[in-house]
A and B are shown apart, each in its own frame.
Chain A
Amino acid sequence: MNTRGMKGLLASAAVAVLAWTAPAGAAVELRMMWYSDGNEGEVVRDLLNRFEQQNPDIKIIVDNVAYKAILESLPVQLAAGQGPDIARVTDLGGLSKYYLDLTPYLMDPEYWRASFGPYLQWYRQSGDTKGIYGIQNQLTMTGPFINKTLFDQAGVAIPGAKATWDDWATATVAVAKKLNIPYPIAMDRSGHRFAGTAISMGAKFLNEKGEPAVVDEGFKAMASRIKKWHDDGTMGKELWGGVSGSAYRGANEEFANAQVVMYMSGSWQISQFAKQIGDAFDWVAVPQPCGPAACTGMPGGAGTVALKQTKHPKEVAKVMEYLASEPVITEFSARTLILPAHLGVVKKGVDFKTDLRLAKDALSVFTGHISNLSPVASALQGYPYNRVIFNAVISRLGQAVVGELTLDDAYARITQDIEAQMAEQQRNKK
């Protein structure tokens, strides 16, 4: 190598070393903890790639984790002052003390109030009425799906719009008997799923002061049906009785394998069913079964929140503003087949990116459920410790279903569990 070549090589090496080590101008690195029910992870990564192109000074690392990690690991990380800068969460109120109030960093806080108004309260601690902590970028609604093909094959009429839970139980059992299907009804093992059905029966869950008062006649009406359905085979014991404590268990696999006539779950399954079932059979979202008080499901959803231990609040706010913008929300909803919560986007409507008629129909049915939502369900979803209630309910009813507890004992234990947990919560040093 001649002298010029050697000099050139050395110069290039020096530039490379400087570029690698130079701290000035280096991009701020943000971490985002994310879980997915369907393709949300890849869609958000794609959207963030575009953001990074427009903002080369910010780099976002998306840590894709299991949903269980969001429920169990993230709270411990946050309590230890660790964790990501941004996270996708579902325990919206329960983690509120760890959220960063974005208001001082936002260019236009009014846009957020106008776009996410009713949902901003779900992220606030009691007494707080102003803070802006996260984007409700997914609205979910619990509700039932049926395997319509099975109804057609069995020649059983599908119950109508105002059909009760008992009507649905009779119809699904008839289908299952005729076609030898193992599960007439399956309901996710989740207190949240049960809550909507119990509210339809008249359950209130919270008293006038907004404190837990779970066991009432409406609650008992639904709980006793669940017990009876497990005893007579309308519901399979593997799901509710299959695990202990507050563990979640879904029946999406069984539904996709045509082993379930009616599956009580929620709108977040649509994307997965579109991919997994496609048009192998007619999976149809049907109106909420009714009780004497309402025909309602439970609202819910996931939010993307900024976390206050971040060292880069300005950059976090910039990412959040991008993710909350109307075009991004619209694209996210359209590509992931999830219901938007952004009021402007809801008003304009979303052209969901699917050619599957079944998915489009299901999305439209679940959008309709939102307008029939019971105020009791909204209030329960907004209660910051609703998971204390949901966990106690599912854990004790699970025991009743397998015969470990009588229903009366289960009711007493539900009340006791909730009281004990709330008392422990109140023990915290002021």
Chain B
Amino acid sequence: MKRSAGDGELRGNRAEGLLRLPWEVAMRALEYPMRGVQRLIGQGRMPYVFVLPNLLIFGTFVVVPLFINFYYSVTGGTALFPEDRPFVGADQYGYLLDCENHLSPFTCREDRFWRGVYNTIFFVTFQVVAMVGLSLLTAVILNRRIVARGFFRSVFFYPVLLSPVVVALIWKWILQRDGVLNAVITAFGGDRVLFLAEPQWAMFWIIFVSTWAHMGFYTLILLAGLQSIPADLYEAAEMDGTSRWRTFRRITMPLLWPTMLVVLVLALIKSVQTFDEVFVLTGGGPGTATQLIVHYIYETAFATQVHNFGLAAAASILLGTVLFILTMIQMRLGSRGERR
């Protein structure tokens, strides 16, 4: 029997209809209670109903723990349950902030906290600048019509798919005393370099590795931002004979700025939270050269025999406060940029 083209189309429509069926049933089932809710609270308040599930999840897993964490920070002892912990007021904060000279960690009572603070500031400054700069450069290149563009986009995104622990282990094998890099150096007649046991090298490599691992994610966001810029603006600029650099400064950057702001905020927060890669790669060493603030919090709360949850909670509240302030500053700068 001869089959007409219409038969295939019909089967396709049936399959689509079947797939859509459960969805439609679910929507119909929801329609009546939602109409009831709308009648009850009015149309203007309906958006709150839709964000409520997310708000509940956010409240349960972020806001409530935040308050619990604050409570821990004003209690002492080693007990786990809040009711078993004595109230100590601002003692934990006082202990952390007690310094003869805040610019010199070793004059502080809790010197490791301040080492963590300064290491984190150094790490975040260089890592975020490198991350955003390289991501922007990569996104601009990948946005152009180059050979094997799809392949290169995948290559840059691939490290993002790897677990941070895997990333750190791979780089550890490359960088350790008998690792691949030293094998190459010695093969060319050089001396072995203790990349992970020399403080400056260790800091350089944790910045490099974390940038390498996460750059693809930010590149992807910036690429999406670049592609949303209307092409006719570039065509007009080209017709006017505008130089590439001027086009980049006057068209690309202003229109990319909202995306850049998102990338900056995300990169900054992610950078301050860095833990797993550094923990596996250098363990915070040599000495405390790469011990970041999150590592200090972990060590204080869990790795010592006397679990000092109060001190760790106070450190995390201070960290959260600084992050909040930085984000606000960035948002303010961002909105000014947008207005201009």
A contact set with B: CB distance below 8 Å: 71-72, 75-76, 79-80, 91, 94, 182, 236-238, 241-247, 249, 385, 387-388, 391, 398-399, 401-405, 409, 413, 416, 420-422, 424-425, 427-429
Contact A245 B284 (CB under 8 A): yes
List of B residues within 8 angstroms of A245 by Cβ = 112, 283-284, 288, 291, 295, 299, 303
Kindly report which residue of chain B lies nearest to residue A71, judged by CB atoms: B303
Given the interface pairs A241-B286, A242-B285, A402-B286, the reply to whether A427 lies near B86 with Cβ below 8 Å is yes
List of A residues within 8 angstroms of B127 by Cβ = none
Contact B302 A76 (CB under 8 A): yes
CB within 8 A of B106: which of A182, A398, A405, A421? Answer: A405
Kindly report which residue of chain B lies nearest to residue A183, judged by CB atoms: B177
Given the interface pairs A245-B291, A247-B303, the reply to whether A79 lies near B79 with Cβ below 8 Å is yes
Given the interface pairs A243-B283, A402-B199, A409-B106, the reply to whether A428 lies near B304 with Cβ below 8 Å is no
List of B residues within 8 angstroms of A388 by Cβ = 304-306
Alpha-carbon gap, A242 to B197, bound state (A): 5
Contact B289 A75 (CB under 8 A): no
List of B residues within 8 angstroms of A238 by Cβ = 176-177, 194, 196-197
User: Does chain A have a CB within 8 A of B153?
Assistant: no
List of B residues within 8 angstroms of A249 by Cβ = 283
Alpha-carbon gap, A190 to B303, bound state (A): 13
List of B residues within 8 angstroms of A428 by Cβ = 77-79, 84, 86
Q: Which of B197, B290, B310, B311 has the most CB of A within 10 A?
A: B197
Contact B79 A241 (CB under 8 A): no
User: Does chain A have a CB within 8 A of B89?
Assistant: no
Q: Which residues of B from 52 to 110 have beta carbons under 8 Å from A?
A: 76-81, 84-86, 88, 95, 106, 109
Alpha-carbon gap, A418 to B176, bound state (A): 33
User: Does chain A have a CB within 8 A of B276?
Assistant: no
List of B residues within 8 angstroms of A391 by Cβ = 303-305
Number of interface residues of B (CB under 8 A): 42
Kindly report which residue of chain A lies nearest to residue B176, judged by CB atoms: A238
CB distance from A28 to the nearest CB of B (A): 27
Kindly report which residue of chain B lies nearest to residue A402, judged by CB atoms: B287
Given the interface pairs A244-B284, A424-B77, the reply to whether A385 lies near B306 with Cβ below 8 Å is yes
User: Does chain A have a CB within 8 A of B308?
Assistant: yes
Contact A244 B303 (CB under 8 A): no
Given the interface pairs A76-B80, A404-B288, A428-B77, the reply to whether A244 lies near B86 with Cβ below 8 Å is no
Kindly report which residue of chain B lies nearest to residue A385, judged by CB atoms: B305
CB within 8 A of B287: which of A91, A398, A425? Answer: A398
Kindly report which residue of chain A lies nearest to residue B202, judged by CB atoms: A242
CB within 8 A of B85: which of A91, A399, A404, A429? Answer: A429
CB within 8 A of A429: which of B77, B111, B306? Answer: B77
User: Does chain A have a CB within 8 A of B120?
Assistant: no
Contact B287 A403 (CB under 8 A): yes
Q: Which residues of B from 287 to 320 have beta carbons under 8 Å from A?
A: 287-291, 295, 299, 302-308, 310-311
Contact A429 B302 (CB under 8 A): no
Q: Which of B199, B304, B305, B311 has the most CB of A within 10 A?
A: B305
Q: Which of B112, B196, B304 has the most CB of A within 10 A?
A: B304
Q: Which of A403, A409, A422, A427 has the most CB of B within 10 A?
A: A427
Given the interface pairs A242-B197, A425-B78, the reply to whether A76 lies near B86 with Cβ below 8 Å is no
User: Does chain A have a CB within 8 A of B274?
Assistant: no
CB distance from B223 to the nearest CB of A (A): 37
Contact B307 A429 (CB under 8 A): no
List of B residues within 8 angstroms of A91 by Cβ = 305
Contact B79 A94 (CB under 8 A): no
Contact B77 A413 (CB under 8 A): no
List of A residues within 8 angstroms of B305 by Cβ = 91, 94, 385, 387-388, 391, 421
Contact A244 B288 (CB under 8 A): yes
CB distance from A344 to the nearest CB of B (A): 32
Alpha-carbon gap, A242 to B289, bound state (A): 10
User: Does chain A have a CB within 8 A of B211?
Assistant: no
List of B residues within 8 angstroms of A244 by Cβ = 282-291, 295, 299
Q: What are the nearest 4 A-B pairs in CB distance?
A: A243-B283, A244-B284, A387-B305, A79-B80
Contact A399 B287 (CB under 8 A): yes
Kindly report which residue of chain A lies nearest to residue B105, judged by CB atoms: A404
Supply 5 further A-B pairs (C-beta < 8 A) apart from A246-B303, A424-B78. A237-B197, A243-B285, A244-B295, A391-B303, A404-B288
List of A residues within 8 angstroms of B288 by Cβ = 244-245, 399, 404
Kindly report which residue of chain B lies nearest to residue A403, judged by CB atoms: B287
Alpha-carbon gap, A13 to B105, bound state (A): 72
CB distance from A89 to the nearest CB of B (A): 12
Given the interface pairs A241-B287, A244-B291, A402-B286, the reply to whether A427 lies near B304 with Cβ below 8 Å is no
List of B residues within 8 angstroms of A72 by Cβ = 302-303
Alpha-carbon gap, A429 to B306, bound state (A): 15
CB distance from B206 to the nearest CB of A (A): 12
Contact A242 B308 (CB under 8 A): no
Alpha-carbon gap, A391 to B176, bound state (A): 25
List of A residues within 8 angstroms of B86 by Cβ = 427-429
CB distance from B267 to the nearest CB of A (A): 25
List of B residues within 8 angstroms of A404 by Cβ = 287-289
CB distance from A74 to the nearest CB of B (A): 11
Given the interface pairs A182-B177, A244-B291, A429-B84, the reply to whether A398 lies near B304 with Cβ below 8 Å is no
Alpha-carbon gap, A159 to B88, bound state (A): 56
Alpha-carbon gap, A428 to B306, bound state (A): 11
CB distance from B272 to the nearest CB of A (A): 18
Contact A421 B304 (CB under 8 A): yes
* Contacts A/B (CB < 8 Å), 13 sampled: A79-B80, A237-B197, A238-B196, A241-B197, A241-B286, A246-B303, A249-B283, A405-B287, A416-B109, A421-B306, A424-B311, A428-B77, A429-B77
Alpha-carbon gap, A421 to B78, bound state (A): 10
List of A residues within 8 angstroms of B81 by Cβ = 79-80
List of A residues within 8 angstroms of B311 by Cβ = 424
CB within 8 A of A242: which of B76, B85, B286, B306? Answer: B286
Alpha-carbon gap, A140 to B132, bound state (A): 52
